[in-house]
Chains A and B, each alone.
Chain A
């Protein structure tokens, strides 16, 4: 393990240092005093681990392909943007467009997430990306979703607080959303339908809740004791009938 003080380094200098440490064979790197530096872990490959103490800037782990990143603090926009593989664990909140067009890997967020999270998530056969949100999500959650699994647990929701914002799953045409609790159909995009979870769904949820509970030192059984619903698209071609051939 190697520690690196990010204090007063700009993002370019910091990322050059991170890459040079990792290319020298270091498998675990601790970044202290991270304060808004963008693009940490962009395009990184392999199975290294980066532990961030502080608040990383936008596009953390964009296009990342394998590593594990722990954030001890909140994260900004675009975490895991178009990420292909790896795991990100955020011990705090994260903001907008988290997991935009994610293709693989897993994101675990202890707290809340912002707008347009998990939009255009992809999936193909066994390669299905996963986002687990401990708190609540903003508007347009999982918009245009085409594959993968997104789970919102809504732990510690205050009275009147909702699991997800409006237009949840708008334009969705693949993948599945699991919500712990219920959702008002008025909050859903018109392309999604609400369904009861099956035994198979619960096994899938449990698999990721096990990880979530372990990362954040929570009681898995307590999380699983509340009922879940699932959201899936009506149709994999929501706009198939929109056009007339000219």
Chain B
């Protein structure tokens, strides 16, 4: 069958710079570059190129640049090149289109339509470099009221996670990403006083030393879930859904199920790791309560239980149900949340923006008088520290970062995580590629990112005249909407700029 699919990229090699050292051949995990003996020079099979930028960065003479294929098809506003390509691919394969990373559609990014306040004249701003500034965050159930007897709390506070910065690393499994990538995040979480998340692939034995900084996940596939795993984690997360693929389960492609992933997940080597769409013991809020309490019983009520869901249409009512089912923390993942693999049409068309989900859930839980029963952790494309500050002012207790954390480790967003060939050693299990990510370097970069954001958050808080993140939480008066409709402002619960 003759393929109509054109290469996405074209590779320009400056032959005045290229000295045929062949580093690009060695570095490319997609088998793009090769040495042509007849031409006596390095050439490229452009159809294989995913634009991961590995060869560009590693080329010692900076001879390579990758550009979007300059060829232009006869497109119109309705039929883009991408729309046509999708049909060619499906006509040739009959397959479900599988994509990596988050929804990149051109819908509005609402964080960018929300602006922060700063103090002028009254309530003077605070200089965080010289004055104390508190970012400490506690995640978990808070009591209705504090009863004090003889100078001490009458009842013990339910278990809470203590964070030095309101940012955690998102759930990314051993399988989806490499052990070196997880080790980098685990070390950085410990260093900076926050948490990483095992994702649904279990905890590799090398990661037990980071258990006090691990959120361990229980997903429908129950991979790697056993008593010690539950004991080691600081908190347990029941994964119901994720923003990139609400309503469906996960398939870790067999290409990424090598010996160690197979051992950690207890499935045959090379098989797809299948997570069913639902947990088959959860068909209702009452059933969810049963799993929450099953986990609490198994861990003697010592750990907060998180329930993670995707942001979907009735998220406020769903979150209310989750709170009433006994969860201590609700994690909500917006429709731009990343993934190692998701069907393209689901990734790009299912779910809602996290900004609206967060505002709706926070408002609903307050109206119902149960906001103290749960903490809210949100995710789904937190790209910088300003997004974090806006999320907290909208009502989040903390955020998690996945894609941002991977970019810190060197990810260049080629969005081919499902292929298992990640040339940066992140989304792969190939031992030769995994070792490209040096965990010592990775951990430093991940920790640096958290430190940098921490400083920036303090600067923004100081500017607002606030010296504790607690005073910003749910403080929507610090936000104004730019270029939003009346209805959008209403759901977000914020005023327009100028008001």
Interface residues of A (CB under 8 A from B): 11-12, 15, 19, 38-39, 42-45, 58-59, 62-65, 77-78, 81-82, 84, 97, 100-101, 103, 116, 119-120, 122-124, 127, 143-144, 146-147, 171, 173-174, 236-246
Interface residues of B (CB under 8 A from A): 86, 89-90, 92-99, 218, 220-223, 225-228, 230-231, 251, 253-254, 262-263, 265-268, 270-272, 274, 276, 280-281, 290-291, 293-295, 297-300, 343-344, 416, 418-419
Most chain B CB neighbours (cut-off 10 Å) among A39, A147, A244:
A244
Residue pair A123, B254 in contact (C-beta under 8 Å)? no
Please, which residue of chain B has its CB at the minimum distance from the CB of A242?
B96
11 contacts between A and B (CB under 8 A): A12-B297, A38-B297, A42-B294, A63-B295, A77-B281, A101-B221, A103-B266, A124-B262, A146-B267, A174-B268, A236-B268
Question: Do A65 and B280 touch across chains, with their CB atoms under 8 A apart?
Answer: no
- How many angstroms between the C-alpha atoms of A101 and B276 in the bound complex? 11
Residues A246 and B263 in contact in the complex (CB < 8 Å), given A63-B225, A173-B271, A236-B270: no
CA A213 – CA B293 in complex, angstroms? 35
> Which of B262, B268, B271, B297 makes the CB contact (< 8 A) with A43?
B297
Residues of chain A with a CB closer than 8 A to B220's CB: 120
The complex places the Cα of A218 from the Cα of B223 at a distance, in Å, of 36
Q: Is the interface of A mostly helix, strand, loop or mixed?
A: loop
**Contact indicator A173/B266 (Cβ below 8 Å):** no
A97 cross-chain contacts in B, Cβ below 8 A: 280-281
Cα(A125)–Cα(B66), bound, Å: 46
Q: How far is the CB of B94 from chain A (nearest CB, A)?
A: 8
Given contacts A38-B293, A43-B297, A244-B89, contact A101 B227 (CB under 8 A): no
Known contacts A122-B265, A147-B267, A173-B271; is-contact A100 B226 (Cβ 8 Å): no
Given contacts A38-B293, A246-B99, contact A146 B271 (CB under 8 A): yes
Question: In the complex, what residue of chain A is closest to B270 when comparing beta carbons?
Answer: A236
Given known A-B contacts A42-B297, A63-B226, A173 and B268 have beta carbons under 8 A apart: yes
- Interchain CB contact (< 8 A) of A127 among B97, B254, B266: B266
| Choice from B90, B230, B293 contacting A63 with Cβ under 8 Å | B230
A81 touches B274 (CB 8 A): no
Cα–Cα, bound, A28→B465 (Å): 63
CB within 8 Å for A100 and B98 given contacts A122-B267, A147-B266, A236-B254: no
Is B294 within 8 A of A174, CB to CB? no
Complex CA–CA separation, A204 to B231 (angstroms): 34
Other than the known A120-B276, A236-B268, A240-B254, what 9 A-B pairs have Cβ atoms closer than 8 Å? A63-B225, A65-B227, A78-B290, A103-B226, A122-B265, A238-B272, A244-B95, A244-B96, A245-B98
